[in-house]
A and B are shown apart, each in its own frame.
Chain A
Amino acid sequence: EAEVAQSPRYKITEKSQAVAFWCDPISGHATLYWYRQILGQGPELLVQFQDESVVDDSQLPKDRFSAERLKGVDSTLKIQPAELGDSAMYLCASSSGVVDTQYFGPGTRLTVL
């Protein structure tokens, strides 16, 4: 069964450093989502792509976060510079269309020291 892949699974960094996360959605899924999940809370949408276009980034802190999906397949989420409050699980999800089920990846757990 196809799954969403993410790497790295764990990342420890110091504040003010740059970090990047990678996501490979299920093949053929046009819609890709990046979520942030703080411990003890539900996932919060950061950015949504339809193919290579951003359709919603209203909750993305654009002064330090950026996301791209250049060829409409895999995606990268970057944080520069990282802050202590960025420590969280970063989840990627994909769906075959804007109204279909979202399938989640295993996440990247970020710790900022």
Chain B
Amino acid sequence: GENVEQHPSTLSVQEGDSAVIKCTYSDSASNYFPWYKQELGKRPQLIIDIRSNVGEKKDQRIAVTLNKTAKHFSLHITETQPEDSAVYFCAAGPPGGGNKLTFGTGTQLKVEL
């Protein structure tokens, strides 16, 4: 089955700096890659996703890049703010429907003032 590895497990940045979280996946057939943000005690919420037919997607301060050859994808957050502090999960999903997501182990991001 699919295996998703996520790094780093913790990340501390100064407010205004950029943060990058990286994930690798094992199943070359996976073609859907969402990122979820989970604040303490709250539900995971989708912040951005990408499908394998594109290499990059941006939404304001958040961007995701995908390298299918290397089987890795990354989340980039620019101009970080204290409210960006949370746990971020990457996931990979199969083609053709079914949408069985395999999640990474999460990255605890702390944005310091």
Complex interface: chain B residues within 8 A of A56 (CB): 98, 100
Could you tell me the distance in whole angstroms from the C-beta of A38 to the nearest C-beta in chain B?
Answer: 10
- Counting chain B residues whose Cβ lies within 8 A of the other chain, the interface size class is 20 to 34
Could you tell me the distance in whole angstroms from the C-beta of B105 to the nearest C-beta in chain A?
Answer: 5
Within B29-48, the residues touching A (CB, 8 Å) are 32, 34, 36, 42-46
Q: What string of 1s and 0s marks CB contacts (under 8 Å) between A63-107 and chain B?
A: 000000000000000000000000000010001011111111111
Chain B residue at minimal CB-CB distance from A103: B46
Q: Identify which of A41, A45, A100, A104 contacts B44 (C-beta below 8 A).
A: A104
Q: Are A104 and B104 in contact (CB under 8 A)?
A: no
Task: For the complex, count residues of A whose C-beta is within 8 A of B.
Answer: 24
Q: Identify which of B43, B45, B91, B99 contacts A31 (C-beta below 8 A).
A: B99
Q: Identify which of B32, B46, B97, B106 contacts A42 (C-beta below 8 A).
A: B106
Complex interface: chain A residues within 8 A of B49 (CB): 101
Q: Are A102 and B99 in contact (CB under 8 A)?
A: yes
Could you tell me the distance in whole angstroms from the C-beta of A94 to the nearest C-beta in chain B?
Answer: 11
Interface residue B89 (Cβ < 8 Å from any Cβ of A): yes
Q: Are B99 and A43 in contact (CB under 8 A)?
A: no
Interface residue A40 (Cβ < 8 Å from any Cβ of B): yes
Could you tell me the distance in whole angstroms from the C-beta of A9 to the nearest C-beta in chain B?
Answer: 10
Q: Are B43 and A42 in contact (CB under 8 A)?
A: no
Q: What string of 1s and 0s marks CB contacts (under 8 Å) between B93-113 and chain A?
A: 000011111111110000000
B residues contacting A by CB (< 8 A) are: 4, 6, 32, 34, 36, 42-46, 49, 89, 91, 97-106
A residues contacting B by CB (< 8 A) are: 4, 31, 40-45, 48, 55-56, 91, 95, 97-107
